[in-house]
Amino acid sequence: MIETPYLLFLGDAPDQLAAKVAQGIKDWRPEFAIGQFRMEGCKADMGLPDLTLAEARAKGVKTLVIGVANRGGVISPAWKKVLIAALEEGFDLASGLHNLLRDEEDLAAVARATGRALHDVRVPEVDYPIANGKKRTGKRMLAVGTDCSVGKMYTALCVEKEMRARGLKATFRATGQTGILITGDGVPLDAVVADFMAGSVEWLTPDNDAGHWDLIEGQGSLFHVSYSGVTLALIHGGQPDALVVCHEPTRPHMRGLPDYALPTLEQVRDTALALARVVNPACVVAGYAINTQHLPQEEAQALLADVEARLGLPATDPFRFGAAKLVDALAAI
Chain residues binding a copy of itself by CB under 8 A are 130-135, 189-195, 197-199, 222-223, 225-233, 236-237, 256-257, 259-260, 263, 271, 274-275, 278-279
63 vs 219, which CB is nearer to a copy of itself? 219
- Least separation, in Å, of the C-beta of 2 and a copy of itself? 21
- Least separation, in Å, of the C-beta of 188 and a copy of itself? 9
Residues 6+ apart with CB under 8 A from 154: 291, 318, 319
- Least separation, in Å, of the C-beta of 223 and a copy of itself? 5
- Least separation, in Å, of the C-beta of 296 and a copy of itself? 32
Handedness of CA 80, 86, 91, 94 (dihedral sign): negative
76 vs 226, which CB is nearer to a copy of itself? 226
195 vs 306, which CB is nearer to a copy of itself? 195
Q: Using alpha carbons only, give the angle 128, 179, 154 rounded to the nearest 5 degrees.
A: 130
Please answer whether residues 126 and 188 qualify as being in contact, where contact means their C-beta atoms are separated by less than 8 angstroms: no
Q: Using alpha carbons only, give the angle 123, 94, 40 rounded to the nearest 5 degrees.
A: 135
**CB burial class (10 A; 0-12, 13-18, 19+) of residue 108?**
middle
The amino acid at 86: A
Please answer whether residues 70 and 11 qualify as being in contact, where contact means their C-beta atoms are separated by less than 8 angstroms: yes
58 vs 278, which CB is nearer to a copy of itself? 278
- Least separation, in Å, of the C-beta of 206 and a copy of itself? 16
44 vs 268, which CB is nearer to a copy of itself? 268
